[in-house]
Amino acid sequence: MAHARLIRPPTCLDCLRRLVHPAPASPPSFLSLQTRGARSSTKAEEEDLQGIPVRLLQDIQGFGRRDAIIRVKPGRMRNYWFPKAQAEYMTHQRFKELGLTEAAIGVRDRSFGTKLLVESEGVLAEERPKETWKSKKDTLTLPPEETLTLLETVLPPILTFARKPIPTVSAPLSSEHKPTPTPRSPLLAPNAATSIGPVAEDSTPPSADEAASVGIFGSVSVSDIVALIREKLLEADPAQGGRVALEADGVQIQGLEGEDRIKHLGTFEVLIFAGKDLEPLVRQVEVVPEE
């Protein structure tokens, strides 16, 4: 016979709740694995699904190949990619023009442009290919035809450089050559004044050839000419002038006879090449004495 205290109904509220709503059986120990910290997606993956859709117009390291459609932050597109023509906005109209839908929007490829190399020691090293490096010169530049048109419009016919001429030293008179005395009449008194004076020196101005042979302090090189051309372009058109890709090998000075720079006063013809298949632009470079 059971003891009286064992058959007495419980009076504690917690005990009554456990009797009415029994707790479910606990799962086996092999199923109760710790899942703290597990996430369905990382923060980077969530960021790649946000932003505005754009289409890449060139390969961009860490984002994807050309023609890939991904989502990026509006600030990156507005401040960096769109001004440099690296990507275009994908609007509803643009999707229709390309015959695509929003289902074509992909995910950013963060590993694009990087390469893992296994070295002989077994160490993983990350290397970026040379074609992904972009310098400032690789930014959007004007086509050769537009460059030639801009140069023809902006550059004056004569580009002037001022240089200080090197003073010429006249050769001293030899000891054998002495000035001849002025003839004097024996009828004149010793202290009488005469109208015949010493022969005046030749004051004829130098010819053009003589002036052109005058040397200068500081020669005029091709780099100096390119710098002046860029200065003229930026003054006339700041927006387009900075997009002209003109290097030193695109300028040639004519008539230097083996020299690569101008070392004396004069006027010289200069050829400016805007492209390989275009006729060069002809301008004059004049080196004048510095005042």
Tell me the average pLDDT of the chain: 75
When computed from its CA atoms, the radius of gyration of the chain, rounded to whole angstroms, is 44
* C-alpha to C-alpha distance for 28 and 178, rounded to whole angstroms: 129
Q: What is the mean pLDDT of residues 101-120?
A: 73
| pLDDT recorded at residue 240 | 80
* C-alpha to C-alpha distance for 112 and 35, rounded to whole angstroms: 32
Banded model confidence at residue 264, pLDDT cuts 50, 70, 90: confident
Contacts of residue 165, defined as CB under 8 A and 6 or more positions apart, other chains included, come to 214, 215, 216, 217, 265, 289, 290
Residue 127: phi, psi to the nearest 5? -130, 135
Q: Is the pLDDT of residue 119 over 70?
A: no
Banded model confidence at residue 50, pLDDT cuts 50, 70, 90: confident
| pLDDT recorded at residue 234 | 86
Among the ranges 2-6, 120-124, 270-274, which has the highest mean pLDDT value?
270-274
Q: Taking Cα atoms as reference points, which of 272, 270, 264, 266 lies closest to residue 286? A: 266
Percent of the chain with pLDDT over 90: 14
By CB neighbour count within 10 A (0-12 exposed, 13-18 middle, 19+ buried), where does 90 fall?
buried
Q: What is the pTM for the complete model shown? A: 0.42
Q: Is the pLDDT of residue 212 over 60?
A: no
Banded model confidence at residue 237, pLDDT cuts 50, 70, 90: confident
Q: What is the mean pLDDT of residues 246-253?
A: 85
**Ordered structural domains, the chain, with CATH:** 43-131 (3.40.5.10), 144-167+210-289 (3.10.430.100)
Who wins on pLDDT, 22 or 270? 270
